[in-house]
Structures are given as C-alpha cells and as structure tokens.
Structure 1
C-alpha cells in the first residue's frame, strides 16, 4: 500500500507549475503555428470534409466481460477552409456482451467556426448485470471477485458535457451539465442492508447544471502533441429546474494535463484529475474510478466515495521516422502507448491513505487525420481489462 504523506499536495502543486496556468493575452483565436498541423496531412485542402470509418471489434472490460461491439467514427469541419480549427467528431458504438449486457455510447465533440464555441458531450446507455461493493476504499477491497454479495442488475442512462465560449486566445467559459438516471433491480442481500442503498433507494434521477472554465493551450484537442490543459467545473444538482429527485448535492472537478513533444509524433503526456462532492449524494452518483478514461483495468464503480482522484503518466509513439520507405508505408499510421498511474477514493482528502496502482500498454492506429483507434490493455491490482475506443484517454 502507498501511504498518503503530503503526496497529494505535492502532486497538485507540481501540475499547477507544469501547466503554468496564467490567463493569456487577448489574441486571434485561430493564431496557431503551422507545426500544429498533423505531420501526415500537410495539405489540408485535399482532405474530405466528411469522413466515416466503421469498425467491428471485441472488447473485454471487468464490468461488461467480453463485449462484441460495432461502431464508427464520423468527423467533419463546420468551417472546412480553416486549417487551424480541429475536426469535429462523433464516435459511437453499440455492443452486446457475454454477460447479456447492452451498451450504447456516443461522444459528440463539436468545434464551431473559428473555434469560438465548443460542444463536448458523453452519452451512455447500459442495461447490464453490475456489481456494487459499497462506498469507500475499504469497501472496494472487501472482495476481489464479483459474487452474490456484489451482483445486481442495473439500467442506466447518462448525458453529460459542456458548452463553452472562447473569451480570448486560450480561455473558454461556459456551462456544464449532467443528466443521469439509474434503476437497480435484483439486489443481493448485502445491498439490501447497505446504509447508502437504504437511504437513497434503488433508483434515482439527477440533473446538474453549473459553470466551467477551461484554459486550453493544446495544439489539438483530441490528440495533442504539445501544450497543456487546465479545467475547473462546478455542478449543482436537483436545484435549478427541479428536474430529478429531491437530493441536493454539488460536484467540483479539477482536470490538469501536460503534453511534452519528444519528437515527430512522440509525446509524453501527464494527467492529474480529482472530483469532490458534497451533500445528499445517492450511491450511484458518487465519484468513481475505473472508466476507459482513467484507471483502465479496474471495474467501473468498484471504488466510489465523495472524493476521487487519479494521476497518469503515458508515453505515446507513432512510427513515422522509419528510414526504409517500404516499411514506413505500412507503419506510418501505427504506434503504441504505455502508461503508469495511481488513484484513490475517500470521504475527504484528509482521509486518503491508500492508493490503487495501474499499469498498461496499447496499440494505436491512425484511422483519420489526427484521430487514432485505441486498443488498450490495463492491469489493475487483481483484474485486467481490454479496451477499444476512438481518441486518446486524455
């Protein structure tokens, strides 16, 4: 176990120093240098505006088991003639797994003309047998294999994201939202006696609305080679429009990222993210770890509490410097990544004592300009996971 002795404070200060999160001077929102264009696609005028790449692939995650999914990556530009505006993308997938789970996901990332507006959304629907260990780090550690003390059935829908407006060259301000609904059935005996389930019930519908501030100096939003990103958001639930249940609570999220360019499409990326919540928070809406965007390999929702945090260091390498043209022809769209990370959950930051280790590696296949198909194998303390997704984890 890794003990907390001021490490969180050190890491937070480290990332703040690294990203140098000062507000930049007002400038042209499209004032980017030419080296921010993809090295494989120098002539942007020859690109098709609408691109559509389908796929069919198996995936194995701890919560869905073996999932057979089909989907596609659709990308386009709302301002085709502006080479400095990132391509908007809508990756989506539909899957059915060996444990009879149904999974639907879509991630519309839309960039407006001259990148003045950004619409970033994550949509999920799952009907699946799930597992609930309880609340807190110790609860997540109480068993390493899902069994009759954790299993239940879950039907879940979530739509979350933000709409931000550019204030100056790098600063965005806007609104963030989260609408989710969970219905739990076939509860096991442990869940029936759990104090959080007894207090908040088997079902909940929550709506949150708040403010978001982003400082974005990345050369590309979905696959950065250099720059940094600093984001703060605050969400207040079930209080604005009286949508959802009567439980009132708030969430605050800090997300910091740094990208170091080590050569032609060789990147060392860092992320530190934490979420704090307070109030009458249903057990299904507590901050959690184990998604395809953080500690890959852990079961999503196994570790949950009022506070969650994680840090990741990841190396990304695309094979673009091969001297032999015949080899480069086949490998220039292929690469790999490897990462190491940690995370934890607790009722407060002062209560954090133990950390969850995480390691992994994966294959990268560039299927559209600056957009990769990601195949990751994550290693957790006692579980493994294989993930297929579009775009990088962060």
Structure 2
C-alpha cells in the first residue's frame, strides 16, 4: 500500500511539474520583452485566440447516449511571426448515460519560429469500458455485454513529445514520455476469468496499472497545416520504454511507425484533398492489456468499437477523400463531406496477423474556424455488420 501511495504521489507531482514548466517557459519569454512590445502583444492577443464550441445531447458507439461538449482553441504563441502555425487544442468532454464522465485534450503547440513543437494528449476517464480479450479470434467471438466484457475504469493518461527542428530541415527529434494510472473495478464475470487478465494480476474485484515511460520521437513533416493538411508528407517513428526503476508496475515497450500524405486535387475544384496513411505499432515485454496495440478509434478504422481488437501488434492503412463545398453562400461554403476506405490487422507480430479488418465510411464536415473542421463520421464494420457514429474536432489524421 505504501508503494502504491508513493507511485500515485509521484504521478501527480510529475503532472504538476509538466504544467509548471510550460507556464514558467511562457513567463520567462514574456519578461524578456520590452513594455512597449508587451502592450502591442496584449492588443494582438485579444484577436489572436479563436474559440469554437459545440454541445448538446449526442451518441457514441462506445458509451451510448450522452451530454457532450466539443471545444476548439487555436492561437499563435508568437503573434509577431506571420509564418508560424497556429497552435491547436481540441477538447472534448461528455457526461455518459451509462455512468461516468470522459474528458480528453490533444494539444499541438508550435514555438520559436516552429523550431520547437509539443504534441500530446491528456485524458481523464471515469466510465464503463469493455475488454474483449487479446487476439483476433477472441476479440471477434466474445459478445459485448455487462456480463462478458464490461468493467469500470477510473484513469488519467498524459503523454506527449517535445520535438526540436534539426537545423533548417523538415526533420524533428525529441524526447517522448507517458505517465498513466488506471484503476479497474466492477469486473464482469467473464472478464474475471480471462487468462491474460489473471496472469497480469487481475482479481474479481479489480486491479490497478501504473506506467511511466520514456523514449524518443523522430518525424519528417512537410504538411502545410498539421491539424488539417491539404498538402505535404508526414513520417513519424515513436518509441517508449517502461520499467520498474522508472516507477512502472511492469517492464515493456513499444515502437510505432506512421506515414501520411496529402494531395490537392485541383482538377476537381478548390479544397478537394486526397489523404492516405499507414501505421504499425508493435509492443513487447510484459505489456498491460490496457496498453496493447488497438484497432477501433475515431482516428483509425472508424466502425469498430474502441479497443475491440487488441494484441501486441496492430497495423492499418486507409485513404480518405475530403471535399468542401465552394459556394457564394457563407453557410454552404463551410460544409463538406469525406469518404474513406481501409484495412487493418492485429496479431502477436506483423508476420502473424490474426485476421483482416476491412473498413469504409463517410462523414459530414463543418468548418468552425479557417481550416479547422468539426466532423460527424459513420463507419462500417463489415465483419459484424455494424455502423458506428463519431463526433470529433479536427480530422482523423
């Protein structure tokens, strides 16, 4: 118990220190400016921050009916730099009819002439979740219900990377980190008998996971606007290692590689884009089942339940056509649609896929800020014959 309390305390101290470092860095920059420059900046900041919010009753495939809100903050950290990308902070929160609350933020921050970037995610979950086991066959054959897959999760996850531009190139390199605490309870009867759950220390009344990981990320990025690219290439490799000497409950790690490309289609009209991506994530060691490689999220193969398919390795590729309406009407010109198709897999490694996961779908786009969209997607899972609906700020990739 004492060790657990120490780990929890360390966890919250780390989160606090990260926040303090960001605030102090901004304060130090401000102090170096003259009073006159500060006055000018204050006037610009009044117009700099753009804020969009959408809220009301809704529905998600994973949590059922809810009362939710989606917010989008965009701003320039340096308003004197006309070429600096606007930082983007999408935030989504929801009160769930099934019980609980969910809050997530995915900041993309750009500093110092885009020589420094911070990409990360913070998520707090206090809601029912589902675990279908590990492996393609198990995932596919276990029915979803409160007696088979359901459990309650109280968790906070904080991960990200600080990336430094290498000279004048389009390459970035920097440290990657994660601090995560998960408490699982109200375990369904079938889940309590799962061999992976038992092997990792799971009991009928529940279990905890605590992870602290360090690693690196390297990327090549020529996208015009990362949050909603119309042109360019993005290639990224991210690796992290978790160990007991860092404070984690187990020893494990992962490496992921992702490729994205975007191309304008002027022969089809303005604001018509073809985007495609491929990603593989492979983990090793004593990986907690909550942190295995997954398929099924608003950012990959939309149509599969979140985390329904999991194993040590996952991979997918997909292409998406994005079409905004060009009209003299301001209302119509803010509307558009997207359509995609793709395929994925999960397995113990890339060379032993458990099975193929086909996927396709289409969605509505609403431009809430210049080049920033709210999306409503309808994804199809042909294996189960189900359609799932997603609501999110910014594009899937």
Shorter-normalised TM-score: what interval?
Answer: 0.7 to 0.9
Q: Deviations over 1:132-186 (max 9, x none)?
A: 1100001111134434121222222211221100113310000111222221112
TM-score (norm. length: structure 2): 0.82
Q: Which residue of 2 aligns with 1:39?
A: none
CA RMSD of the aligned region, Å? Answer: 1.8
1:244 has 2:248 as partner: yes
Pick closer, same or farther for the CA change 1:47–1:365 going to 2, 3 Å: farther
C-alpha spacing 1:47/1:329, structure 2 compared with 1 (3 Å): farther
In the other structure, the counterpart of 1:280 is 286
In 1, Cα distance between the equivalents of 2:226 and 2:126?
Answer: 31
1:206 aligns with 2:206: no
Residue 262 of structure 2 corresponds to which residue in structure 1?
Answer: 259
Task: Answer 1 or 2: higher relative contact order, Cα 8 Å, separation at least 6.
Answer: 1
**Alpha-carbon deviation of 1:236?**
0.4
1:389 aligned partner: 392
Matched residue, 2:194: 194
Distance 1:54 1:62 in 2: 22
Give 3-state SS (helix, strand or coil) of 2:199's partner.
Answer: helix
Moved more, 133-142 or 201-210: 201-210
Residue segments in structure 1 that go unaligned for 5+ positions in a row = 1-44
Structure 1 range deviating more: 80-89 or 288-297:
80-89
Whole-Å Cα distance in 2 between the matches of residues 58 and 225 of structure 1? 32
Tell me which stretches of 4 or more aligned residues in structure 1 moved more than 4 Å: none
Q: CA deviation at 1:214?
A: 0.4
Q: How many residues are treated as equivalent by the alignment?
A: 343
The answer for the alignment partner of 2:127 in structure 1 is 128
TM-score between both structures, scaled by the size of structure 1: 0.83
Q: How does 1:89-108 map to 2 (within 5 A)?
A: 89-108=88-107
Aligned partners of 2:95, 2:82: CA distance in 1, in Å? 39
User: Which residue pairs with 2:117 in the alignment?
Assistant: 118
1:219 counterpart = 2:260: no
Does the CA-based 8 Å contact 1:357-1:380 persist in structure 2? yes
> In the aligned structure 2, how far is the partner of 1:206 from the partner of 1:334?
42
